[in-house]
């Protein structure tokens, strides 16, 4: 294992954790039966972590560890969603408090263990009525196991870990992940509602995904399977826990009490308020509802509660400070999602939302009737960008075109948010801009929703995609080892051609895509691309395949002088 700077470890973990939650989001949503069976825990955890990742990725590459950890925690706080997301935000704040100390290093694992213990303590403190068998139990077990694993580690030296330090750090991460899985398997024995549903706790499953991601970043190991339902694993976990807790750990929680009737609304808001006002606010809100979580500090807070009188909750926030980004959602459960009656709220309008990678592509999608969520060069598309593109529209039907591979889970998470509002939403898994163009070309707003989605999906699926770019560094590809400056041809997402000239490689990419037939070649020129490049491809197709039409667009996308499609 090679030495990795601490800041890079945290950055990689944020990204790997988000990717892990993206992959497990639907599974975690399906496990969600407590505290409200509204099937959104996986989505809320994903959106909260996405906000943390966005904040971290906005920092310069040389940002210090305390700055990276602080941005991660604040990003999660500002983007926290739901009960589970609020708890995760407070856990990340606890992690940041440890990693932000002068001279702190992850070397050897002691800081990680302390950070996980601090995260568990902070989470317990944030929840008004902690309950065993939830993410809290899983967090406590992970922190305690990490502490025992790190007990023999030597004192840290500096901010860069050597191979031995990384190995010890990996041992601590592995111990935390194992303990989390064991605690997760025990949650149905601790919480009757889980046992009755035959599932483990959804929030605890999400935390297990994040802890496994840390181990993967350090070692490359694939995570072991975590229990999802009762009977998945037979892990012998004592009732009191496998790890003996010290008095400094949060005390065990009382069992959850079933309420006669669930509150009507979920209320969330950010709050600017002095720390001394928050204690009184917690007391007042405790009398208004349940699932109360107040997280944050240093004058910046996030409030989450389930209550019948949403107005009284907001008024309490106003009395304490300045509430903003106020969100009030009805907790009536319908089809696995909460939300208002769509027939009473949304119009029959259909909206297509598309990610576009360059100004020319923005114009192309907009001219086809799509609402465009533009992304800045080099940045990962975000759920927030999709939701912002939808804005205040009352459209009751929405089709989302991700148009790149990394944006597919982002689109799925946004779709879950929009479905929770009572809208019909479909994500067409377009992984290339040219697939999105093929989909909007057959979009017919007057068709039935399902028929339109099928037509767009079929068109996108029949569009083979390629591209031409230039290698920035040495790498191993399907076509062999490339060197900086080599021209790379992409076919169906794989680097399949290595050459020295852009036109030469582009012609070869098109030739391979046309080998399976086709009627139309789409050429999208990138930012600063020589016009002769697209013209050369068009001329080559005309000579070799006179029966095939070619269209050329100015896309303005970065990094790829040409995007290519064959239909």
Question: Is the full-model pTM beyond 0.75?
Answer: no
State the DSSP H helix or E strand holding residue 493, giving kind and residue range, or none if neither. none
Confidence band for 39, pLDDT divided at 50, 70 and 90: confident
Cα–Cα nearest to 138, from 202, 68, 45, 232 = 202
28 or 385, which is more confident?
28
Q: Tokens 């459960």 identify what position? A: 333
Q: According to the model, what pLDDT value does residue 555 have? A: 94
Between CA 399 and CA 390 the distance in angstroms is 11
From the list 113, 114, 112, 70, the residue with the least C-alpha distance to 93 is 70
Q: Which helix (H) or strand (E) holds 184?
A: helix 163-190
User: How far apart (Å, rounded) are the C-alpha atoms in residues 475 and 483?
Assistant: 7
- In order of their start, the domains of the chain are 6-219 (1.25.40.340), 265-334 (3.30.70.60), 340-461 (3.40.50.10440), 464-566 (3.30.1180.10)
pLDDT in tens, 158-182: 544 567 777 889 999 999 999 999 9
Indicate the SS3 state at residue 515.
coil
pLDDT of amino acid 310:
83
Please check whether residue 184 is in contact with residue 232, taking contact to mean a CB–CB distance below 8 angstroms: no
**Which of 14-23, 174-183, 382-391 is least confident?**
382-391
Q: How confident is the model at residue 157 (pLDDT cuts 50, 70, 90)?
A: low
Per-residue pLDDT, averaged over 424-446, amounts to 93
In sequence order, what E strands does 289-362 have? 289-297, 300-307, 322-330, 333-334, 337-338, 347-356
Residue 228 preceded by cis peptide, ω within 30? no
Bigger pLDDT: 315 or 153?
Answer: 315
Separation between Cα atoms, residue 371 and residue 41, nearest integer Å: 28
For residue 371, the model assigns a pLDDT of 94
């Amino acid at each position: 294992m090679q030495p990795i700077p601490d800041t890079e470890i945290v950055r990689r973990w944020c990204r790997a954790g988000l990717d892990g939650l993206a992959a497990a989001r639907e599974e975690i949503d399906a496990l969600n039966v407590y505290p409200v069976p509204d099937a959104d825990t996986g989505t809320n955890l994903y959106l909260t972590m996405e906000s943390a990742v966005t904040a971290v990725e906005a920092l310069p590459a040389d940002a210090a560890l305390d700055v990276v950890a602080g941005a991660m925690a604040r990003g999660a706080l500002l983007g926290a969603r739901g009960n589970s997301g609020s708890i995760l935000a407070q856990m990340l704040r606890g992690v940041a408090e440890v990693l932000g100390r002068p001279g702190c290093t992850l070397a050897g694992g002691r800081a990680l263990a302390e950070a996980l213990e601090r995260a568990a303590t902070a989470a317990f403190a944030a929840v008004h009525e902690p309950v065993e068998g939830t993410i809290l139990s899983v967090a406590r077990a992970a922190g305690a196991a990490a502490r025992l694993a790190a007990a023999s580690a030597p004192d840290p030296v500096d901010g860069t870990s050597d191979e031995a330090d990384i190995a010890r750090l990996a041992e601590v991460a592995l111990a935390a992940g194992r303990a989390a899985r064991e605690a997760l398997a025990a949650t149905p024995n601790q919480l009757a509602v889980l046992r009755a549903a035959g599932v483990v706790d959804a929030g605890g499953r999400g935390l297990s995904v994040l802890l496994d991601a840390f181990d993967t970043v350090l070692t490359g190991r694939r995570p072991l399977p975590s229990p999802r339902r009762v009977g998945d694993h037979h892990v012998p976990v004592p009732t009191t826990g496998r790890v003996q807790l010290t008095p400094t750990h949060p005390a065990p929680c009382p069992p959850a009490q079933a309420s006669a009737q669930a509150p009507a609304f979920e209320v969330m808001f950010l709050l600017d308020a002095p720390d001394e006002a928050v204690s009184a606010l917690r007391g007042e809100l405790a009398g208004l509802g349940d699932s109360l979580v107040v997280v944050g500090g240093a004058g910046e807070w996030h409030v989450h509660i389930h209550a019948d009188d949403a107005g009284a909750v907001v008024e309490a926030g106003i009395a304490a400070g300045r509430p903003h980004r106020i969100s009030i959602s009805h907790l009536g459960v319908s089809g696995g999602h909460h939300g208002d009656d769509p027939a009473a709220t949304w119009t029959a309008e259909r909206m297509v939302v598309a990610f576009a990678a360059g100004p020319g592509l923005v114009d192309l999608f907009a001219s086809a009737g799509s609402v465009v969520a533009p992304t800045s060069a080099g940045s990962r598309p975000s759920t927030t960008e999709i939701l912002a593109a939808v804005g205040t529209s009352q459209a009751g039907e929405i089709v989302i075109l991700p148009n790149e591979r990394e944006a597919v889970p982002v689109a799925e998470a946004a779709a879950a948010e929009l479905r929770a509002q009572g809208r019909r939403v479909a994500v067409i898994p377009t992984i290339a801009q040219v697939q999105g163009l093929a989909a909007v070309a057959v979009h017919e707003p007057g068709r039935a929703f399902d028929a339109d989605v099928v037509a767009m999906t079929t068109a996108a699926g029949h569009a083979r995609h390629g591209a031409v770019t230039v290698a920035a560094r040495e790498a191993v590809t399907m076509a062999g080892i490339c060197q900086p400056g080599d021209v790379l041809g992409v076919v169906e997402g794989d680097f399949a051609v290595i050459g020295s000239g852009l036109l030469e490689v582009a012609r070869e990419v098109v030739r391979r895509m046309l080998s399976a037939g086709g009627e139309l070649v789409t050429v999208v020129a990138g930012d600063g691309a020589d016009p002769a490049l697209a013209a050369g491809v068009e001329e080559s197709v005309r000579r070799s395949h006179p029966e095939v039409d070619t269209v050329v667009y100015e896309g303005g996308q970065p990094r790829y002088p040409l995007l290519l499609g064959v239909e």
